[in-house]
Amino acid sequence: MAITPADIEKQSFSPSELGYNPEEVDSFLEQVSSEIDAMLQKIADLKGRLTNTEQQLAVAQDQIAHFEENSEKTAADKTNAAVAASEHQISQVLLVAQASADKLVADAKDNAERIRNEADQKAREVIRQALAEKQNELDEIAEGKVDKNDLLRSFYEPFEETLEKADEAIGEVEIPEEVSDVVCEKCGRNMVVKQGRYGKFLACPGFPDCRNTKPILKDTGVPCPKCGGRIVERRSRRGQAFYGCENYPACDYVTWDQPLTEKCPECGAFMLRHRYKNGRILPYCSNEECKTRIDHPINKEIERSRARLEAKKAKEAAAAEKAAEAEATT
């Protein structure tokens, strides 16, 4: 059982002849009781301080946890913002790089075209000067004063030497190939744009291993009246533009006149534009049964075109028959 200061104060001892002086004992017990009472007060005070400190510690720990949570969130937000900024910067850099690459290709094409034109102009100038210098000699040939073989030899030998020097001065010009999004169905490569005699066309870059070529078809935005496919612009062997269905040869729709997205106000069919040789333009409805086609000037033009086509087919058939007869007789 614990002894309190009050117990010490109430404690009494039996007197004895040989015992301690009761006054001294009582005085000492009072002193001990006071000391214990002070110690207990101090312990109670320390406990109060400890409780207060523990409460303050708990509050501080909550504040630290809240601060750490906010710090992590702030750091995450900053990281996300930095990533977003980096992605934006990368996108900007890629756009600038693509624009620079496009400009370099365009400049290279312009320079190549300029060099080609200059070379052609130089060649024409050389020929013109050579012909001018030889004009008097040609006159002498006509008069019989100079032998033509000697004159031709004296002309072509220096002219050939001049051309060789011009080739060396100009050098070889490489024109960057324009890569299209059309895939070659034979080898899987992306086809490139080439310049031919009658304009541009698509060719496989795997030449000579792959010799696949395709015409560049320009969509007119008008559906085919026969099958519903797209009407596209094509080029004839002589480079003349005509219009036909993209599903050729399954669909044989073809016209020399340009299809228009404009609709006929009478029947709703698409319009066609006929261009005469003198540059005059005549629009008309593509529907032959439309009321606007009655007595229309285009009807005579179409009849003439059909007559020319029939005459051409008959001529080709007659030539083929004649060739077959000649082969049979040999």
102-114 pLDDT, tens digit per residue, is: 777 677 777 777 7
Residues 120 and 193 in one domain: no
CB 211 within 8 A of CB 204: yes
Residues 46 and 164 in one domain: yes
User: Does 147 reside within a domain?
Assistant: yes
Q: If residue 283 lies in a helix (H) or strand (E), which one and from where to where?
A: strand 281-285
Domain boundary among 176, 208, 224: 176
**Is a pLDDT exceeding 50 seen at residue 1?**
no
Residues 87 and 188 in one domain: no
Domain boundary among 160, 176, 192: 176
**Is a pLDDT exceeding 90 seen at residue 231?**
yes
Handedness of CA 227, 230, 235, 237 (dihedral sign): negative
Residues 124 and 188 in one domain: no
Residues 115 and 81 in one domain: yes
Q: Work out the percent of the chain whose per-residue pLDDT is above 90.
A: 20
Residues 114 and 167 in one domain: yes
User: Does 61 reside within a domain?
Assistant: yes
Residues 82 and 136 in one domain: yes
Q: How many domains in the chain?
A: 2
Question: 0.75 cut: is pTM over it?
Answer: no
Residues 122 and 187 in one domain: no
User: Does 119 reside within a domain?
Assistant: yes
Q: Residue 80: its pLDDT value, please?
A: 65
Distance of alpha carbon 245 from alpha carbon 233, whole angstroms: 9
User: Does 73 reside within a domain?
Assistant: yes
DSSP 30-94: HHHHHHHHHHHHHHHHHHHHHHHHHHHHHHHHHHHHHHHHHHHHHHHHHHHHHHHHHHHHHHHHH
Mean pLDDT of 4-11: 60
Residues 97 and 211 in one domain: no
Residues 130 and 197 in one domain: no
Burial (Cβ within 10 Å: 0-12, 13-18, ≥19) of residue 13: exposed
Residues 81 and 154 in one domain: yes
**Is a pLDDT exceeding 60 seen at residue 2?**
no
Coil, helix or strand at residue 96: helix
User: Does 140 reside within a domain?
Assistant: yes
Domain that holds residue 197: 178-216
Residues 135 and 183 in one domain: no
Q: What is the pLDDT of residues 249-284, one digit of tens each?
A: 899 999 999 999 999 999 999 999 998 888 889 999
